[in-house]
Structure 1
Amino acid sequence: MKTHEGLVAVVTGAARGIGQEIAIAFARAGCSVVALDRLDCAETLQAVSAAGADSVGLRTDVGVPEDWQNVRENISIRFGRCDILINNAGIFPFAHLDDLNFDIWNDVIRINLSSQYLAAKHLAPLMAEHGWGRIISLASNSVATNAAGMSHYFASKMGVIGLTRGLANDLGGRGITVNAVAPSLTPTPGTGGVPEEFFEQIAGLQSIKRQAKTGDYVGPILFLASREAEFITGQTIVVDGGLWKN
């Protein structure tokens, strides 16, 4: 069923992992897809095309304002509208405070948080032109854990939660909802350095005793991006198998 027929979805970090899964899911739901990444999105675009959707891939550093100006111009020319924005791009270099230099700090904040401000700044006006839009950002359940060496990452993801609430206030009057999804640590190419036993330890602490999968986040994100979710905004939905219980 084409639940999102005729809409245009922008997905950051779309070359692999969770972002790739989300981009393909929106294509199957009927969206045209704009795939953004610093890496080549050819594999994602091939899968989107196989789903019968129109698409464009743009090499983008989401932490650079000029790159977002290019994204906006390309979307305006190619599709003439933007309906859905998925802020998925993120990095999480491990560093205890003793090893956490200012370059690492700035890079994490730039990619994980500032990028989401830039995305909204450039694309929310395209949504407002049609009086409808959905912004969904990836936060993290890790902010509720006692993991060491992640203070920079925690700061960025708590910032995502705060930005989500603030943008919901700013954009609600324009028909745009803004929400976040907080996933668990998930096996992806980006988490390839995490030992297998650590994933198993996390799974053992969850109510649902298995490792997270990239597809676990597709359903909640598709729902938040739907017309049926029009009265939900400013919220962070934790999707982690019951590890973090509010």
Structure 2
Amino acid sequence: MSGRLVGRTAVVTGGAGGIGRAFARRLADEGAAVAVLDRADATDVVHEIEEAGGKAIAVTCDLTNPEAVGAARHEVTARIGSAHILVNNAGIYPHQPFDSLTFEDWRRVFSLNTDALFHTCQEFLPDMRAGGWGRIVNVTSNSVGLVVSGVTHYVASKMAAIGFTRALATEVAGDGVTVNALAPSLVRTPTTEAAGSAESFETVARMQAIKRSQVPEDLAGVLAFLVSDDAAFVTAQTLMADGGLVRS
């Protein structure tokens, strides 16, 4: 453990696997007590953290349900204390042509990729402001800077998350809370590998400045910086951690 986050409590949504799992493990390595919020069973990642000497809990939560998020906050606070760090990582990435989209399809994407940010921030932000210190990181996507076809609803939801990040950061900066967005490229996880093909990863890697596929650990160190005191003067930013795919 580095000890950079000792005494802090972190909440990671969608932390049962993939990117969220790497985030939860890294924050625990940095010394934070971590609450892993997910609809799926997150006990495996909690056991990994505990075996490494860290502290973590798993909280089952439907992030699209504001009452469930409120109950999750109460559970986190009761078991490991008020949150200092919130990582909004949970999201879905469906691929569907616009002309076949229904409003139900549209709302399904926004309910998790955007609305859930509203629910979690409303629940966990007040304690951060009251304590005079907080870090919120919203995971968006580099697709907002390099759009491909078939993901109109996804890109719109992730662009909305960036606007939410900038606006919220402006409101809470005076209370010692920073709010930033982290935008990865196509990341190799069990979910993306099951949904895609080897060729898709190779194609994206060739387009990047760094010619290899991105893995969750490539993002974990960036996250650890954004939620630490080292990033105290960084807020309202969208950090493209995508191997140089979007060059702006």
Q: Partners in 2 of 1:204 and 1:55 — Cα distance?
A: 38
- 1:26, 1:33 within 8 Å by CA — same for their partners in 2? yes
State the shift of 1:79 in Å: 2.6
How is 1:78-227 mapped onto 2 (pairs within 5 angstroms)?
Answer: 78-191=79-192, 192-227=194-229
How is 1:29-48 mapped onto 2 (pairs within 5 angstroms)?
Answer: 29-48=30-49
> Aligned-pair RMSD on alpha carbons?
0.9
Q: Secondary structure at the match of 1:242?
A: coil
- The count of aligned residue pairs is 246
Read off the aligned partner of 2:7 and give its amino acid letter. Answer: G
Q: Secondary structure at the match of 1:36?
A: strand
Q: For 1:163-185, what per-residue CA distance to the aligned partner results, in whole angstroms no more than 9, with x for missing partners?
A: 00011011111110000110001
Q: Secondary structure at the match of 1:232?
A: coil
Aligned to 1:75: 76
- 2:9, 2:33 within 8 Å by CA — same for their partners in 1? yes
- 1:24, 1:51 within 8 Å by CA — same for their partners in 2? no
Q: Percent of pairs identical after alignment?
A: 40
Q: Partners in 2 of 1:40 and 1:4 — Cα distance?
A: 25
Q: Which runs of 4+ in 1 moved over 2 A?
A: none
Q: Partners in 1 of 2:145 and 2:13 — Cα distance?
A: 25
Q: For 1:8-64, what per-residue CA distance to the aligned partner results, in whole angstroms no more than 9, with x for missing partners?
A: 000000000000000011111101010011100011111111122222111111111
Aligned to 2:20: 19
- Structure 2: gaps of 5 or more residues: none
Q: Partners in 2 of 1:54 and 1:203 — Cα distance?
A: 35
TM-score, normalised to structure 2, is 0.97
- 1:87, 1:136 within 8 Å by CA — same for their partners in 2? yes
TM-score, normalised to structure 1, is 0.98
Q: Partners in 2 of 1:146 and 1:157 — Cα distance?
A: 11
Q: Partners in 2 of 1:118 and 1:46 — Cα distance?
A: 27
Rate the CA distance shift 1:51–1:129 in 2: closer, same or farther, 3 A: farther
Q: For 1:151-207, what per-residue CA distance to the aligned partner results, in whole angstroms no more than 9, with x for missing partners?
A: 000000001110000110111111100001100011112212111101101100111
Q: Partners in 1 of 2:13 and 2:200 — Cα distance?
A: 27
State the shift of 1:129 in Å: 2.0
Q: Secondary structure at the match of 2:131?
A: coil
Q: Partners in 2 of 1:173 and 1:50 — Cα distance?
A: 38
